[in-house]
């Protein structure tokens, strides 16, 4: 399954899953589940519910293991019973949502006491690095430095937010851990070497080593945040 993905997506999922850790016998919600790769992975040992609004994306859904798939968005969150999940995943979703404060509030309601929330989000500094180093797009880099949003071809406007905003939107969610993600590997432009499994292993190792270092987190393309419900 993973080997069929682009290298960047394969490495990202492996690192994110490693940061989440081994979960067994848990109730899990994957909000904005996409093709269901993460939902399917954790469904091997857990009871997983996945929510995804795009029927086009769901047409490519991975379903090796059994999990519940719901088509929809925030309205579907509101139908779920309170305190019904041990863990919620929300990866690369909130940047594209107009009602993200409502979504975060629903996450708090749905989590059990001491439940965890995993959020993967864009990091503005990393996006500036991408524009300058990889794309030579100085206008976009300057716009980002001026506080403007940017655009993703498939999903539309990327509405950036700070790591601390989630706890500001809902003070019952306490930030437990911050990880940098995609710090180095996008800067490697040799497409052939990226296919090498030994290279991939070494890249995962060094990405993991610097992921909790604040200096490297500042320039990582993405941040992975773990919150706990208090």
CATH number, domain at 186?
3.40.50.150
Name which of 148, 97, 89, 151 is nearest 120 in CA terms: 89
- Examine residue 145 and state whether it is found in any structural domain, yes or no: no
Residue 129 lies in a domain: no
Q: Mean pLDDT, the chain, as a whole number?
A: 96
Tell me the two tokens of residue 51.
């929510």
- Domain membership of residue 139 (yes or no) is no
* Bridge partner list, 181: 222
Distances in Å between the Cα of 220 and the Cα atoms of 2, 63, 102, 180 are: 22, 31, 27, 5
> Would 104 be classed as within a structural domain?
yes
The per-residue pLDDT for 92 is 96
pLDDT the model gives residue 6: 87
Nearest to 174 by CA among 121, 123, 113: 113
Q: Per the domain annotation, does 152 fall within a domain?
A: no
What pLDDT digit, counting tens, does each position of 5-63 carry? 889 899 999 999 999 999 999 999 999 999 999 999 999 999 999 999 999 999 999 98
Let me know if residue 15 belongs to a domain.
yes
Is residue 144 in some structural domain? no
- 165-215 per-position pLDDT tens digit: 999 999 999 999 999 999 998 888 898 999 999 999 999 999 999 999 999
Does 35 fall in a domain?
yes
Q: Rounded CA gap, 129 and 162, in Å?
A: 17
Structural domain range at position 51 = 2-123+157-229
- What's the total number of domains in the chain? 1
User: Which of 215, 100, 84, 69 is CA-nearest to residue 162?
Assistant: 100
């Amino acid at each position: 399954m993973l080997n069929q993905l682009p290298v960047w997506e394969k490495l990202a999922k492996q690192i994110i899953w490693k940061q989440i850790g081994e979960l067994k016998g848990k109730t899990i919600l994957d909000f904005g589940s996409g093709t269901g790769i993460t939902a399917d992975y954790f469904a091997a040992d857990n009871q997983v519910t996945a929510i995804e609004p795009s029927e086009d994306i769901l047409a490519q859904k991975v379903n090796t293991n059994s999990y519940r798939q719901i088509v929809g968005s925030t309205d579907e969150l509101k139908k779920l019973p309170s305190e019904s999940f041990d863990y919620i995943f929300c990866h690369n979703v909130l940047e594209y949502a107009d009602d993200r404060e409502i979504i975060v509030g629903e996450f708090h309601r749905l989590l059990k006491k001491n439940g965890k929330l995993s959020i993967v989000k864009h990091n503005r500094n990393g996006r500036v690095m991408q524009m300058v180093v990889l794309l030579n797009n100085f206008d976009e880099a300057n716009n980002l430095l001026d506080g403007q949003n940017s655009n993703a071809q498939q999903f539309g406007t990327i509405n950036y937010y700070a790591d601390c905003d989630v706890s500001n939107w809902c003070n019952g969610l306490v930030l437990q851990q911050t990880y940098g993600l995609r710090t180095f590997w996008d800067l490697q432009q040799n497409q052939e070497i990226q296919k090498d499994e030994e290279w991939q292993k070494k890249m995962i190792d060094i990405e993991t080593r610097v992921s909790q270092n604040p200096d490297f987190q500042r320039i990582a393309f993405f941040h992975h945040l773990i919150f706990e419900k208090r």
